[in-house]
C-alpha cells in the first residue's frame, strides 16, 4: 500500500473510532484481534513484480539480461529471501469506505525506478 493511501486509511479508522466508541472495544476473548485492520487492499504474486524489476534494472544497464531469474527451491542464499503470493484485501477497510487512490505495486515500481 502506498504511504499516501495508508495515511488516508489511518484517518478513516480514527474517525470511525471517534464516532463509534461502542464499536471499538474488542471482546476479552479475542485478545484485540477483532479490531485488527489489515492495511492491504489488493493482492499480487511476486513473479510479475520480479519481472518488472528485472526489466527496469536491465534498461538502466544494471543487469546483463531483462526479466527475472528463476531460483530453484532451496538453491543458494537468495532462496532464503524469496517470497510468496500476497493477498490482503481488507474487508474492514472497505467497510469504512476506504478506497486506495495510488497505483498498484507494479505501476508504482515503474514510476519509482525510471529507465
Averaged pLDDT for residues 86-114: 75
Q: With 70 as the cut, is the pLDDT of residue 87 above it?
A: no
Estimate the share of the chain in helix, then strand, then coil, as percent rounded to the nearest 5: 50, 5, 45
Residues recorded for the chain: 115
The total number of structural domains that make up the chain: 1
Question: What's the angle, vertex CA 42, arms to CA 41 and CA 43, rounded to 5?
Answer: 145
Instruction: Please give the pLDDT value at position 75.
Output: 65
Q: Are 101 and 42 in contact (CB under 8 A)?
A: no
pLDDT at 32 over 70: no
By residue range, what is the domain housing residue 106? Answer: 3-112
pLDDT on residue 76: 63
Q: What's this model's pTM, rounded to 2 decimal places?
A: 0.52
Beta strand 43-44 with 86-87 is antiparallel
From the list 93, 72, 67, 94, the residue with the least C-alpha distance to 82 is: 72
Amino acid at each position: 500500500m502506498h504511504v499516501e493511501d495508508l495515511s488516508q486509511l489511518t484517518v478513516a479508522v480514527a474517525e470511525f473510532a471517534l464516532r463509534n466508541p461502542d464499536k471499538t472495544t474488542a471482546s476479552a476473548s479475542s485478545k484485540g484481534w477483532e479490531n485488527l485492520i489489515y492495511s492491504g487492499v489488493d493482492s499480487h504474486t511476486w513473479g510479475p513484480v520480479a519481472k518488472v524489476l528485472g526489466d527496469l534494472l536491465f534498461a538502466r544497464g544494471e543487469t546483463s539480461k531483462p526479466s527475472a531469474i528463476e531460483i530453484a527451491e532451496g538453491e543458494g542464499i537468495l532462496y532464503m529471501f524469496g517470497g510468496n503470493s500476497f493477498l490482503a484485501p481488507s474487508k474492514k477497510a472497505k467497510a469504512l469506505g476506504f478506497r486506495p487512490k495510488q497505483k498498484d505495486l507494479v505501476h508504482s515500481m515503474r514510476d519509482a525506478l525510471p529507465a
